[in-house]
Structure 1
Amino acid sequence: MGLYNYTQRKWVYERVALNGSYPDSNVSWAKLYNGKVYHTSTRSMQCNDVMTGEEIWKVNFDQGFGSSGFIIHDGKIFGNNDNRYTYCLDPQTGRQIWKEESSGSASPISYLNGVLYFMGGGDGRLHAIDATSGKHLWRLRSPDVDKNSGAFFYGTCVAVPGQGGQKGRVVATTGLNAYGYEAIR
């Protein structure tokens, strides 16, 4: 990571290693939030100060965040780890707030009104997890699995806000169809 001052045409800092524990690994899923950059690397998530490049915190895991990545909402980090757990971390400290048994690999997470929605790559189900408590609200099985054993939920999962006092919708795809479900809130 580096920070270049374009006005002064000079580097503030350059080539700060973001993945020191795993030098041959990729840094992925970088997100900026409150003057900090958050990212994952092979088996860790860490936070660096954008202005200095200094590491603020790092949390090691036994697996990586793979294609699932993470999101930051309502002052919390949410991510699906390949170790079959969904995590909620404090973005200031990296402290674990909660951990819920989940699906392992998953689609990217959608967030709507305090609920996390995603499709589990490990179980093929559509998940809804309460963002405050970390408890599952439901795990839906694809209606298409009865027609074709490979038509579990995968691909795209999008939470769409409701309008005019209506609940939102969660749209999830299988290999055969797209389904819309009423959002929990």
Structure 2
Amino acid sequence: MAWRKDLEGPISSTAAVVDGRVYVGTEWAGLYALALDSGEILWHCREAGTITSSPHVVGNRVLVGSYEGDFRAFDAATGEVLWSFQAEQPIQSPAAVVGDRVIFGSYDRRVYCLAIEDGAKLWDYEVATEVFCSPVVSGRDVTVLSCGNGTIYTLDAEVGGPALEIATGQIALATPARVGAYLVAPTYMGTVLCMDLNSDDTRWVFDVGNQAVVFHSSPAVTGKRVVFGGRDMRLRCLDFDSGEELWQFRARDSIDSSPVIVGDRVFVGSDDGNLYAVALETGKLLWRYVGGEPISASPAVAYGRLVIGNSGGVLVCFAAKP
């Protein structure tokens, strides 16, 4: 471990690591910026509110929404609020960026597109239910899940109108992964769907056979592997082409944390308080860090460092071995 820092309030979202700095929000105390090499707090903005969404850094701006419904741009160097936009309900959706635009969803059943420069609203689009997860960007296409009923919308980043709408009928709260024309979406009903967005067809469905099993973890996809966690305490790896299960790794509690694949390793947190590293090929445990408090945030990996927070407000940083 390179360092650990006690912050104020649970950390339930993924940190952003950019230009030697770590930007992370907490549920009690707003937004922090820390030095990546030492963990020193560089600035702290309590007025950012209750943050359960992940920050996004674009140039000199840190973009993030709050549970109070404010979406703000902060000066990355000083923490000064540059502009603020008010949605009608909480914002848990991490933002996506397309060119000079930032796009996110809200509990108010809308997807918003703002200008990064000044926060001006360029368009909004109403969907069927709340949007908790992040929009997924591919070129000008912005794919969004209406989480309460699993309807998939593909919007045009320039104008917002839908180019595609697919009804799945399954509640889905995790951000899906898009690979080319395919969208991989875990659900709240014990299934993972792989949809072909060009044809509206279902490529495959992975089903654990138990609708009580909840998948709140977003999938990590690399090559022919799809890796995700579940509330049945398992980390699973599927074949991308067929949906066949290749391996399972069992933790000691739920895995809501979204895994990150780095080379031949998978890193993921668990509600059992552990950060796990497992082999991508086999699912074999390589090592674990015992943090003590539940980890629902996902690892952020950059510059040879891994940064992750837990529900006890502890942010830890690991450095790769030379």
TM-score between the two structures when normalised by the length of structure 1: 0.75
Give the partner amino acid of 2:105: N
| Aligned mate of 2:45, from 13, 16, 31 | 16
On the 8 A contact 2:72/2:83 being kept in 1, the answer is: yes
The secondary structure found in structure 2 opposite 1:138 is: strand
Task: Show CA shifts across 1:62-107 (max 9, x none).
Answer: 20122x3221122210111110111000011010000111132243
CA distance 1:140–1:153, shift in 2 (3 Å): farther
On the 8 A contact 1:65/1:82 being kept in 2, the answer is: yes
Task: State the partner residue of 2:242.
Answer: none
Task: State the partner residue of 2:4.
Answer: none
On the 8 A contact 1:170/1:182 being kept in 2, the answer is: yes
- Residue 181, structure 1, aligned to residue 206, structure 2: no
Q: What's the CA shift for 1:6? A: 6.7
CA distance 1:141–1:14, shift in 2 (3 Å): closer
Alignment of 1:55-70 (within 5 A): 55-66=81-92, 68-70=93-95
| Aligned mate of 1:134, from 132, 157, 160 | 160
CA distance in 1, matches of 2:157, 2:122: 10
Please, what is the CA RMSD of the aligned residues? 2.7
Task: Show CA shifts across 1:91-126 (max 9, x none).
Answer: 110100001111322432211121111221133211
Task: State the partner residue of 2:272.
Answer: none
CA distance 1:132–1:156, shift in 2 (3 Å): same
Which has the larger displacement, 86-95 or 100-109?
100-109
CA distance in 2, matches of 1:122, 1:27: 18
Give the partner amino acid of 2:184: V
Task: Show CA shifts across 1:19-41 (max 9, x none).
Answer: 2xx5xx23632111111111111
Give the partner amino acid of 2:182: R
Task: State the partner residue of 1:50.
Answer: 76
The secondary structure found in structure 1 opposite 2:46 is: coil
| Aligned mate of 1:40, from 42, 65, 68 | 65
- Residue 94, structure 1, aligned to residue 119, structure 2: yes
Q: Which has the higher contact order (CA 8 A, sep 6+)?
A: 2
CA distance in 2, matches of 1:178, 1:82: 23
On the 8 A contact 2:111/2:131 being kept in 1, the answer is: no
CA distance in 1, matches of 2:97, 2:176: 17
Which has the larger displacement, 44-53 or 105-114?
105-114
For structure 1, the residue ranges without an aligned partner over 5 or more in a row are: 146-151, 162-167
CA distance in 1, matches of 2:194, 2:175: 10
Alignment of 1:85-124 (within 5 A): 85-102=110-127, 103-124=129-150
Displaced runs of 4 or more, over 6 A: none
Task: Show CA shifts across 1:128-184 (max 9, x none).
Answer: 111111011222112xx5xxxxxx1524522213xxxxxx32333443342221348
Task: State the partner residue of 2:182.
Answer: 169
